Structure 1
Amino acid sequence: MPTITDMYDGFLFELEGLLDGNTGVIPFTTETVDHLYPIAFLSTDATRSAAAVASSLAGLGINAHQAQVVTQSHAAARLLTGLVPAQSADEFVLGTAHTEDEPPSQAPASYPELLREAIHRTRARYPLAIGQSMRFVAAARAIHIPSVLILNESTNLRSLLLTSPDQRPTFVATDLRDLFRRQPIVDCEARYWECEGWIATVTQGTLQLYPGPSSTLAAGARVLCAAAWNFRGPDLDIDSAVDLFTSLAA
């Protein structure tokens, strides 16, 4: 059975999703990046050049060339002209528009255009978007690109279970190592979902989790998603299942 990375030929990382405000990068980032090619880093920071971003990544131990960094300027240029100009001193003037009361770094990012430019850079026929925000996943889905959502404290399981179909990722991971692991299909029988020893059920409108091995933690997230997303009732009580999974993942 193939791993996630075996199925794709280009890897598009939401840059902010790889970085942690306190520790620099999230766990297993450098090892993951070193084993994937071609790769692109998508930055929503309109105030920094590709060269500056690449330099910062190098300082964090991530081997990145500025040509692998896609900024809002590149996305804006592609949106306006359909072509990305050669790098020049004024290349980064074309940032996302913002008002005087809204700093550039807080201006809304154009994730679909960032993704399209990243695909152009990598020349991937089967690209995969990898990030930690639901907004990034939703943008990938909107332009029909498969995605991986890496769960974290801000993109938590509770939000994921309750999200609408047009916001859902293709894959769910608990850390970047899951990209290199097999992805067994979640088996379903009535209100019973099972994968790698993890079981989720829906009983009288309540989602329940029966834990499996800690080594297959991502399977627990996957069975919960399968159960919650297939529930047809008006309301689903997910609190106890989410609390149990969160305690096991800590």
Structure 2
Amino acid sequence: MSVVQGERLVDAYDLVIFDLDGVIYLIDRPIPGAVEAVARLHREGKPVAYATNNASRRPAEVAELLVGLGVNAQPGEVLTSAVASAAALAERLPAGAPVLVVGAEALRAEVRAVGLVPVERADESPAAVVQGYGPQVGWTQLAEAAVAIRAGALWIATNTDRTLPSPRGPLPGNGSLVAVLRTALDREPDLVVGKPESALFGTAAHQHGAQRPLTVGDRLDTDIEGAGRAGMDSLLVLTGVSRAADLLVTPPSARPTYVAHDLRGLFDAGTVVRLDDLPTPQGNPLAVAGDGWELTLDGVPTLTGAGRALDALRLLCACAWSGHPVGAVRPGSDAAGTALGELGLTGGR
């Protein structure tokens, strides 16, 4: 089922909040169609914002990167977990307090910008440790952080993303580095600032005076769950980390309002489906049908019919979210085999 036949998803919202990695680009390569989608929003006068958990670049650097990719972005449109983490530290510490920074230079710069002093060693008596992603983070920094936290320093993590999307597949993210300290210290951070916490989304909506924002992300556990915590509708695009198989097993707190293959779903009602009004499985054997497809749960789930792959995914979600496992789906038609292959959900025939 598309959004509403003939209507565009984007027209129902007054702000579009984009995640970056996995939505607009992968590391340093634009995702096909993303630059064109943002340019179209600008031409139509639709406000946009960018909310990213990546703490390795300052807002001006993120905007510069986007401009280099062809996106006309301004620093004021960018919200990073580094900025939010520095603000959280400034609320809790006196001016001039030392903060041990684990991460990239961008995080150090944000700490300086709020009047705190970045340090590198535990013997400099840091009042807090702030931990963010940085490609050069290694054992030495983590060891200093562990010593400082054991000595009583406040521990703030910019985010806990386990992975970062890349053209080579998922790579270790800040959450993997946080897990190192969690294991060594046998405790959790005192505060996690970035998504899925709602601060970045709420700040973006407030800055633009938005009453009905839409969040677009590629991760169920951060972007989509964070949007839900902020009370916002969300669009999951399958261009980054989370895949169709992940969608079928995600908990209610991380289920998106819509799903699309990519950002075309903002404009083309035929390339997006709604997931908050799913059909109810019924009958014996249990079955659910709609939009050219039927999924029957009699032994191994069987998909038959013909239609868009996203419509098939909608039926699969209807069953899976009703408590009926659909991990291995058998295609009951050639069209079903094609659809399942497109979704990465191939099963035996």
Return the TM-score normalized by structure 1. Answer: 0.80
Q: Which residue of 1 aligns with 2:260?
A: 173
Q: 1:160 is matched with which residue: 238, 247, 260? A: 247
- Of structures 1 and 2, the one scoring higher in RCO (CA 8 A, sep 6+) is 1
Query: How many residue pairs get matched?
Result: 234
Q: Which amino acid aligns with 1:173?
A: A
Q: Which amino acid aligns with 1:30?
A: V
Q: Which residue of 2 aligns with 1:87?
A: none
Q: Which residue of 2 aligns with 1:26?
A: 31
Q: 1:50 is matched with which residue: 43, 46, 59? A: 59
Q: Distance in 1 between matches of 2:247 and 2:343?
A: 16
Q: 1:92 is matched with which residue: 91, 107, 110? A: 110
Per-residue Cα deviation, 1:7-51 (whole angstroms, up to 9, x for no partner): 111111111122124x71212101211222210111222231111
| Structure 1 contact 14–131 (Cα < 8 Å) conserved | yes
Q: After TM superposition, give the deviation of residue 177 of structure 1 in Å.
A: 0.7
Q: Which amino acid aligns with 1:247?
A: G
Q: How does 1:39-188 map to 2 (within 5 A)?
A: 39-76=48-85, 79=88, 92-93=110-111, 97-98=130-131, 100-101=141-142, 106=174, 110-111=194-195, 112-135=198-221, 136-152=223-239, 154-182=241-269, 183=273
Q: Distance in 1 between matches of 2:289 and 2:10?
A: 25
Given the superposition, is the C-alpha separation of residues 239 and 189 from structure 1 closer, same or farther in structure 2, using an over 3 Å criterion? closer
Given the superposition, is the C-alpha separation of residues 64 and 246 from structure 1 closer, same or farther in structure 2, using an over 3 Å criterion? farther
Given the superposition, is the C-alpha separation of residues 194 and 27 from structure 1 closer, same or farther in structure 2, using an over 3 Å criterion? same
Q: Which protein shows a greater Rg? A: 2
Q: Which amino acid aligns with 2:194?
A: S
Q: Distance in 1 between matches of 2:328 and 2:16?
A: 34
Given the superposition, is the C-alpha separation of residues 114 and 205 from structure 1 closer, same or farther in structure 2, using an over 3 Å criterion? farther
Q: Which residue of 2 aligns with 1:217?
A: 309
Q: Which amino acid aligns with 1:110?
A: G
Q: Which amino acid aligns with 2:252?
A: P
SS at match of 1:97: strand
Q: 1:238 is matched with which residue: 327, 332, 337? A: 327
Q: Which residue of 1 aligns with 2:99?
A: none
Q: Which segment is superposed worse, 148-157 or 101-110?
A: 101-110
Q: After TM superposition, give the deviation of residue 240 of structure 1 in Å.
A: 2.6
| Structure 1 contact 4–180 (Cα < 8 Å) conserved | yes
Q: After TM superposition, give the deviation of residue 222 of structure 1 in Å.
A: 1.9
Q: Distance in 2 between matches of 1:91 and 1:119?
A: 25
Per-residue Cα deviation, 1:46-100 (whole angstroms, up to 9, x for no partner): 231111000001111111111111112442366565xxxxxxxx97116992293
2:281 is the alignment partner of 1:192: no
2:10 is the alignment partner of 1:5: yes
SS at match of 2:130: coil
Quote the sequence identity (%): 27
Q: Which amino acid aligns with 1:207?
A: P
Q: After TM superposition, give the deviation of residue 221 of structure 1 in Å.
A: 2.1
| Structure 2 contact 237–260 (Cα < 8 Å) conserved | yes
Given the superposition, is the C-alpha separation of residues 121 and 241 from structure 1 closer, same or farther in structure 2, using an over 3 Å criterion? farther
Q: Distance in 2 between matches of 1:153 and 1:241?
A: 26
CA RMSD, 1 decimal: 3.1
Per-residue Cα deviation, 1:124-157 (whole angstroms, up to 9, x for no partner): 1001110001121111112221111112463111
Q: Distance in 2 between matches of 1:68 and 1:171?
A: 24
| Structure 2 contact 248–320 (Cα < 8 Å) conserved | yes
Q: After TM superposition, give the deviation of residue 110 of structure 1 in Å.
A: 1.3
| Structure 2 contact 281–318 (Cα < 8 Å) conserved | no
